[in-house]
Amino acid sequence: MTFATPRSLYIDGEWVQPGSYEALVNPADETVFAEAPVGDAAHADAAIAAAREAFDRGPWPRLPQRERQAALSKFLDAIERRKGELIEMIVTEAGATRMLAEFLQYGIPMQHARHMVEISDRPAITPLPVETTPDARGGITLGAGVIARDPVGVVAAITPYNFPFFLNIGKIIPAMAVGCTIVLKPSPYTPFEALVLGEIAAEAGLPRGVLNIVTGGIDVGTALTTDKRVDLISFTGSDSVGAAIQAQSAPTLKRLLMELGGKSALIVRDDADIMAAAASGVSGIVTHSGQGCALLTRHLVHNSVKDQYIATLAGMLGAIKIGNPADPANMMGPLIREAARKRTEDYVDIALGQGARLVHGGKRPDGLTSGYYYEPTLFADVENGHRIAQEEVFGPIGVVIGFDSDDEAIALANDSDFGLSGAIFSANVGRAYEMALQMRTGGVHINGGAGRMSSHAPFGGIKRSGYGREYGLEGLNEFTNIKTIAFKGG
């Protein structure tokens, strides 16, 4: 291990002793690599109070925007100086492969963060049209107004274990950029990728109370979701936990920004490049061992090319090298814990019980006696109503479902409780675009998309995949309230 592990919580600019510590396990080999501090509801209360004080009476929301930008740029510069350490932390805590850690878990969120700081200088006040109205004295009133965007206030950011650094940065940077203050609660499985940000906040000189970091379990989460001093909750996680948070927050009518689960559809038309489509299909199964909400796990393939697609995809899956993610040669690492592997195994049994045909995988890999590994798994002869096609597994399982027409493909894609992502492969790009417009989801990639996740593009879902948007201008504005100010001219 080549990184230090903080042993305290970060509240109001100070390091606070936790109530207890718990052993933190490396999912690649099941060894304990550190003792993690565990906060409780009292720590959450103190963190909320600090964030409230910093927002209501501190300097941060009142700084000129250019000064907030400078402070956050300094914060991000401090992160960059610890890049190597953070990547090691991502590999060890989250079980990400080294390539995934460097590019998607670290590189892309830093790209997003820089962009969010840059665009935060957009006008906070925009004019409304000037209008004339006859008055009671026979004259004409000249009326005008502006729309002002104010920071929403205290934000509780609750993040999961799969992409912890990505999501920690993705929530705190835009919120702080517009003047909000934060309480960040990470997953108990991945606390250090959050706590290290407290060290960086102190180094960068962020004012007290602007960023607070509290670890812990359900009691800490409930304290954040129910406290009336919290103005907005930004949550990424499962749809079931999202529903619980919505219920907990309802009595205080909090704003919610929810990025939840997915069961996203990859449509492969009869004119598609099968190799390219299958490569995308492999990514949807093996990326971070299937632990990604936007991964493409339902492969809807035209029946005329379905057998070719299945054979190609199975061959690619067979070439995936599984093992300790610390070894750069390995292409797929472990699931986060034994419970996640057991859930994956249970869904394999469910799929077989409902008549699906196992094409590849379906078991623990040979020779790996420690670590929470599971083979990338592919099912065919799946009906869209099967549980394996409707429920989020959060493990390395993909399914292939055949279709005969574009209309049928769209209907199958939309026949889901989720709506986060989607993709279409076709030589007819115009037709693929028309189909993308009909898909009920938050985003669609055509023939692989733009090559990387754009910082300009808002990200989020519909239905049980949540609501609100992250990243881009829309994501920045999620952390603001709109106020209209009207006045007379002259």
User: What are the tens digits of pLDDT across the range 243-256?
Assistant: 999 999 999 999 99
pLDDT, greater one: 350 or 138: 350
Does the annotation count 259 as an active-site position?
yes
Q: Is pLDDT of 490 > 70? A: no
Instruction: With cut-offs at 50, 70 and 90, classify the pLDDT of residue 33.
Output: very high
* Mean pLDDT across 98-116: 97
The tens digit of pLDDT for each residue in 431-470 reads 999 999 999 999 999 999 988 899 999 999 999 999 999 9
- Quick: pLDDT tens for 307-317: 999 999 999 99
Task: Note the pLDDT of residue 448.
Answer: 95
Enumerate domains of the chain plus CATH numbers: 9-260+467-489 (3.40.605.10), 264-454 (3.40.309.10)
Average pLDDT over residues 267-274: 98
Does 1 score more than 70 pLDDT?
Answer: no
Per-residue pLDDT reduced to its tens digit, 388-422: 999 999 999 999 999 999 999 999 999 999 999 99
Closest CA to 383 of 298, 463, 264: 298
For the segment 284-306, what is each residue's pLDDT rounded down to a tens digit? 999 999 999 999 999 999 999 99
Residue 168 has pLDDT above 70, yes or no: yes
Contacts for 486 with CB less than 8 Å, ≥ 6 apart: 128, 143, 144, 145
Confidence of residue 189 (pLDDT cuts 50, 70, 90): very high
Q: Which of these ranges, 1-5, 79-83, 189-193, 235-239, has the smallest mean pLDDT?
A: 1-5
* CB 456 within 8 Å of CB 436: no
User: Taking residues 192-197, what's their average pLDDT?
Assistant: 98
Write down the pLDDT at residue 393. 98
CA distance 120 to 114: 10
Q: What's the whole-number mean pLDDT along residues 167-182? A: 98
**What was the pLDDT predicted at 132?**
92
Active-site option among 93, 102, 193, 259: 259
Mean pLDDT across the chain: 97
